Amino acid sequence: MDEEPITIKLTRDQAFVLSDWLYQVMFRSDALEGIVHDQAVWSPIHTISGTLDKSLTEIFMPDYGPRLKAAKQRLRTDLHDDTAGNTGESP
Using DSSP's 3-state secondary structure scheme, residue 43 falls into: helix
What does the pLDDT read at residue 57? 94
What does the pLDDT read at residue 21? 92
Mean pLDDT (10-residue bins), the chain, 91 residues: 86 96 81 79 91 94 97 94 61 41
Q: What is the rounded (10 degree) CA torsion for 74, 79, 80, 82?
A: 120
What does the pLDDT read at residue 2? 72
- Counting every residue written for the chain, the total comes to 91
pTM equals: 0.78
CA distance 48 to 42: 10
What does the pLDDT read at residue 90? 44
Q: How many helices (H) and strands (E) does the chain have?
A: 4, 0
